[in-house]
């Protein structure tokens, strides 16, 4: 047993897992406040990456300005999506809401590549390609930066829920009607959570876009993000952090040892099994609130 190999799989897995958390964070923010599973989050990540690319490559802005503008843009996009689409869906069956977000995803997947060109674009964040080498272990710098950003974002979200506005959001996530009765604007709170999800998509879009280039395949990050969300619990930000680590590590260590035997990439199998086993044994995830009605 090669301990260096194991450690490398473990560390890089943990880092990529945290980058998945970044995508998952948006889903949790929205679900926590409104109970809407936003399956368009992957497409929102893609749109943010396109926005950053527009800022940097078409408008010639410095990266930091482009990022800031993208955050503003995506925040507004989130607000709009909530106002125009999701607000009308209150009280509808969950399948309708799921399909609505999927319809939004299809729309966005036509919009971004349609307006800006379907060929992949490159996004350079200026992260050095060479790994950090500790003994036998190579650590990917881009993933390290991504993981740090992810942790910062998650901690910021946790802190945000301690602020005045965040407390309102928590109240909304507890109960819409009681929040109304104490004078909290539920609509605005949900809108803000969509805006925040849009902003967090920008971080994910920038990091993943720099790693693989910007095209519609960014929206396929949804699948690992869903695994993170299910494992961590749909409404737990803390869960995103822990589950991201677990999904990343299992999705790296298990394929690392099993792939050579099976002769195929097993990471998606691991991800699928995580989703399945979580749902069978603990549907609300590790840290989710257990108010799911069981059969």
Partner 1 sequence: MKSFLKGLAGAASIAAIGISGAAKADEPIRFALLQDFTAVYTFVTDEYNQGQRDYIELVNREGGLNGHEIEAIIRDTGNEPQRGIEAYNRARREGAILVDFLSTPVSRAAVNRVLDDEVVMITVLHGRGDASDGTTFPYIFPMMATYWSQATLLLDYIDREQGGLEGKRIAHVYIDSPFGREPVPVMEELAQRKDFELRTYAYPSPGNEQSATWSDVRRFRPDHVILWGAGGGQAVSVREAIRNGIPQENILSVVWMAETDARTIGEERATGIKRFEAVATGTDLPIMQRILEEVIEPGHGAGPSENVGTTYYNIGVASMAVATEAARLALEEHGAPLTGTSLRDGFRMIRDFDAEGMMPPVSFAEDDHQGGGYGRVSRWNGEAWEAVTDWFTAHQDIVWEEIEKDAAGFREGR
Partner 2 sequence: MFYRLSGVHHTRYETARRIWPVPADRRMVYLVLALAVAAPLYMSDLYLTSYMLPWLIWSAAALSLTLLMGIAGQLHFGFAAVMAIGAYTSIHLTRAGVPLELALIGAGLVAAGIGCIFGAAALRVKGLYLVMATLAMQYLVDWTIINVPAISGGAQATLSTPSVTFLFVPLRGDTALYYGALLWAVIVTMLVLNIKRTSFGRALVAIRDKDFAAAVIGVNPFKYKLLAFFTSSFLGGVSGAVLAFCYYQAVTPEQFGFNVSIQLVAMVLVGGLGSVIGAYLGAGFVLLMPIVLTNVVAYMAIAGWLSVSSNLLAHIPLMVYGGLIVGFILFEPLGLAKIYDNVRKYFLVWPFRHTQS
Structure tokens at 188: 């605005």
Asked whether 37 and 222 are in contact (CB, 8 A), the reply is no
**Cβ-based neighbours of 287, under 8 Å, separated by 6 or more:** 232, 233, 236, 238, 239, 242
Three-class secondary structure of residue 246 per DSSP: helix
Nearer to partner 1, 193 or 266 (CB): 266
* In the complex, minimum distance from the CB of residue 248 to partner 2, in angstroms, rounded to a whole number: 17
Nearer to partner 1, 221 or 240 (CB): 221
Binding stretches for partner 1 (CB under 8 A) = 2, 5, 8-9, 12-13, 16, 109-110, 113, 117-124, 129-131, 138, 140, 142-143, 208, 211-213, 215-218, 220-221, 251-253, 255-256, 259-260, 263-268
Beta-bridge mates of residue 121: 214
Structure tokens at 107: 């729309």
Binding stretches for partner 2 (CB under 8 A) = 37, 85, 88-89, 92, 94-96, 98-100, 102-111, 113-115, 117-118, 223, 226, 230, 234, 262-264, 266, 268-269, 271-273, 275-276, 279-280, 283, 292-295
Nearer to partner 2, 132 or 292 (CB): 292
Read out DSSP for 9-71? HHHHHHHHHHHHHHHHHHHHHHHHHH----TTHHHHHHHHHHHHHIIIIIS---HHHHHHHHH
Nearer to partner 2, 62 or 114 (CB): 114
- Residue 99 partner contact from partner 1, partner 2, none using kind-dependent CB cut-offs of 5 to 8 Å: partner 2
* In the complex, minimum distance from the CB of residue 266 to partner 1, in angstroms, rounded to a whole number: 8
Three-class secondary structure of residue 214 per DSSP: strand
Nearer to partner 2, 40 or 207 (CB): 40
Sole residue written with tokens 């809108």? 191
- Residue 92 partner contact from partner 1, partner 2, none using kind-dependent CB cut-offs of 5 to 8 Å: partner 2
* In the complex, minimum distance from the CB of residue 143 to partner 1, in angstroms, rounded to a whole number: 7
* In the complex, minimum distance from the CB of residue 218 to partner 1, in angstroms, rounded to a whole number: 8
Nearer to partner 1, 72 or 149 (CB): 149
CA distance 159 to 154: 9
* In the complex, minimum distance from the CB of residue 265 to partner 2, in angstroms, rounded to a whole number: 9
CA distance 128 to 258: 31
Sole residue written with tokens 């050579």? 260
């Amino acid at each position: 047993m090669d301990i260096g190999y194991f450690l490398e799989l473990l560390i890089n897995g943990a880092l990529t897992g945290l980058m998945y958390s970044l995508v998952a964070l948006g889903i949790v923010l929205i679900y926590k406040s409104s109970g809407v599973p936003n399956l368009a989050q992957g497409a929102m990540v893609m749109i943010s990456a396109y926005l950053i690319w527009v800022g940097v490559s078409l408008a010639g802005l410095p990266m930091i300005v482009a990022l800031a503008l993208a955050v503003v843009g995506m925040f507004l996009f989130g607000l709009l999506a909530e106002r125009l689409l999701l607000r009308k869906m209150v009280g509808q069956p969950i399948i309708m809401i799921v399909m609505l977000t999927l319809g939004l995803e299809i729309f966005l997947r036509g919009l971004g590549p349609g307006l800006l060109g379907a060929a992949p674009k490159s996004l350079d964040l200026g992260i050095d390609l060479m790994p950090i080498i500790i003994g036998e272990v190579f650590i990917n710098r881009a993933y390290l930066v991504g993981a740090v950003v992810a942790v910062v974002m998650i901690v910021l979200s946790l802190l945000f829920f301690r602020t005045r506005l965040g407390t309102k959001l928590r109240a909304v996530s507890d109960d819409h009607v009681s929040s109304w009765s104490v004078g909290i604007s539920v609509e605005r709170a949900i809108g803000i959570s969509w805006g925040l999800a849009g902003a967090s998509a920008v971080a994910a879009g920038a990091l993943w876009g720099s790693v693989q280039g910007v095209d519609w395949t960014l929206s396929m990050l949804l699948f690992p993000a869903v695994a993170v969300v299910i494992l961590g619990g749909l409404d737990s930000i803390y869960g995103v952090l822990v589950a991201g680590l677990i999904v990343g590590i299992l999705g790296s260590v298990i394929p690392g040892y099993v792939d050579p035997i099976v002769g195929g990439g097993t990471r998606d199998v691991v991800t699928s099994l995580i989703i399945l086993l979580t749902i069978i044994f603990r549907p609300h995830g590790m840290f989710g609130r257990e108010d799911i009605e069981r059969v």
